[in-house]
Amino acid sequence: MKTIQVKLAKRSYKAICGFGVIKNLAREIKRLNLGSSAYIITFSKIKNRYGKHLVKSLKGSGINYTFKVVADSERSKSLQSCFRILQHLARFDKNKKVFIIAFGGGVIGDLSGFIASAYKRGIPYIQVPTTLLACVDSSIGGKTGVDLNLGKNLVGAFYQPRLVISELSFLNSLSRRQIRAGFAEIIKYAVIKDKLMFKYLEANHAKVLGLDKQALGYIVNRCVRIKAEIIQQDEREEKGIRTILNFGHTLGHAIETAGGYQKYNHGEAIALGMILASRISKKLKLINQDTYLRIVNLIKLSGLPVQIKGLSLKKILAAQYRDKKFIGSVNRFVLIKDIGRTIIKRNIPLGIIKDTLGIPSSL
């Protein structure tokens, strides 16, 4: 078990990662004095497979609870879904001491955190991630949000959890595709911040993807530590430091949106976005061909897509203009100068973006 402190003054919290750590849930709730009623937002399959672990811990400590099951889809991250959940939460909240447990992956975490930020102007919430992607990335940092038809996470808030407990044994039920999606974010952390970690992944990607306990524990904790270090310096993305976490996301989110959140999952879209951002970096002579190929090859070795298929490239281009990472009409890309070194570039010429996507400049 590893405990990493996310140090944010009054909003500081612990991220506990390991095998068997879920047994500490109720004890941590009591220590934090979060309340006496847990409102657990989750998917049906997560509740059925792992809900008993939460129930055992909560019951043993006298904490009242209820499950709110939502559809297992990115489409659950909508204002309509939020409204229904808030109505249900208000009916459950009889003793005025309710807190939320986000029990699932990134969709559940984003949705639950946003609801926690909105209900009564803010109630406590805990992240209990059940996907690799959520363990290494989305459960840490306090970004919450829901989608609009025009784009991903366009409505949201920075709202930190009070605790993150990543029970790594939960990952054993993930599909290979879900594991690969999480691995995309792991690659991201290595590319932006840790050259040695990138070398480790080149040599040990099969172990991480196979959920080898030692390799998995090392990588998850390394990613969480990197993210904690970044957000401690720039919690609300106001200084430009936290922005590097968006490597691969400018065009990655556009790919997700253009595919209606169905064609590619988040990790697959980010993998493609990282390749495109690396390609732009190469076009701007920030990196050489060898560095570019190392990134592409690691993504390919992990089984993630390396080419966009079945989507309109012009639709992707249009979707990127609605992304939050645009400031007015000025685009903003996180690019790389080397593995482990980033640079933020604004106003990348449209011709370079089109060429990167393979769109003729005349269109």
Active site residues per annotation: 121, 143, 185, 227, 237, 242, 246, 249, 253, 266
Residue 82 CB neighbour total at 10 angstroms = 18
SS3 track for 166-187: EEHHHHHHCCHHHHHHHHHHHH
Q: Identify any residues that bridge with 156 across adjacent strands, giving them in sequence order.
A: 145
Phi, psi of 36 (to 5 degrees): -110, 0
CB contact at 8 A, 4 and 221: yes
Evaluate whether 312 touches 222 at the Cβ level (below 8 Å): no
- In DSSP terms, 102 is beta-bridged to 41, 127
* Separation of alpha carbons 258 and 144, rounded Å: 21
**Structural tokens at position 92:** 């459950």
The pairing of strands 37-43 and 98-104 is: parallel
Do the Cβ atoms of 302 and 309 come closer than 8 Å?
no
CA contacts within 13 A on the Cβ side of 181: 23
| Pairwise CA distance, residues 90 & 92, whole Å | 5
Torsion over CA: 69, 126, 133, 245 (sign): positive
For residues 359 and 313, the answer to whether their CB atoms sit within 8 Å is yes
- Residue 163's DSSP bridge partners are 14, 126
Spatial separation of the C-alpha atoms in residues 127 and 214, rounded to whole Å: 23
The single-letter DSSP state of residue 66 is E
**Which residue is associated with the tokens 């934090």?**
32
**Which residue's structure tokens are 């879904």?**
81
Distance between CA 251 and CA 321 in Å, rounded? 10
